[in-house]
Structure 1
């Protein structure tokens, strides 16, 4: 029994560490860690380990001359003003994002709905960092989304071919995600209510003299 427990712990820890490399790979300003919220990380990991979220990886060839790809550049220029992508012009991350869009060129032009979204197929693209609870929120707020694709930083390992990853939740996983979001919202409301007892957070409007 003890060995079985240890084996399960080792598997979970390996998956957690791997998720850390996939979800939070862009070091620098704003860099995050999946371990900032252990509850959501543990749930996300267990959903993957027990097959309720299908996770896959795909190798791709990074294009160093991506600015010569007119289609990828055109799609990027349309999306950037609507998104956080407007930050990072002519930096390394901009080229990474264009490479990500290039991989999905056959899927049509995406729209921005809080995330880069391919409406015809229900796929969401993230080229940056995202935490497990944000993934839960994404699938809860966008029930039409079927699969999430994540492009980690392609320069983490020298001489390694870049890869991106997909996460596709079953209905049971979606239910668990929604339960988590609802529970956290209830916890937040409870804390706010307790902290605000006897305190007038928003002052009442005073009558005009």
Structure 2
């Protein structure tokens, strides 16, 4: 978005120029449609580093972090608490593909994108994993190996901040009490940046159960692996 794509010239024209300069384009955009235009108008690989619809490179780093911690995907349960946003969409697809059970707790109207829910349903028919979308955080975290959350006010929704915080707080904040409710030594994950006191209590993200710094490190390694595979 720093290039002001689509402002001074068509996105398609920018894509054609970048095609002449680069071997691969890694794009972080607001509108997913912009990403699609970049990919369709250039002859080089275009990687989605984040869009309003999904965040697949974050999901890959998350899955690597889970593998490092557990050494497996089967019989691992993820509880996602909060807004069914772009991060949730990609995590949902990745978990359902690899056999990780994922249960999502979100307010009504903040569910994951229907297309991604359908994609997950297709995946679980092959992987055998389980996908649930519920309302009660305490219900989804029971027996969870990992509790995952993200910001309540994603990019592009700044004008809804007050409404969103009133909707999500305090029910959907990941607190030490919610972590204990899993009934086991569970881990905490967050894609960063975070807002302590909103989606997560500082005692959780800064505590011994937090894997957020591993996630942050693994974003580098997964990005390197993707680039090596494509270039």
Structure number with the higher helix fraction is 1
TM-score normalised by the chain length of structure 1: 0.27
TM-score normalised by the chain length of structure 2: 0.25
> Which protein, 1 or 2, shows the higher relative CO under an 8 Å CA cutoff with sep ≥ 6?
1
Structure (1 or 2) with the larger CA radius of gyration: 1
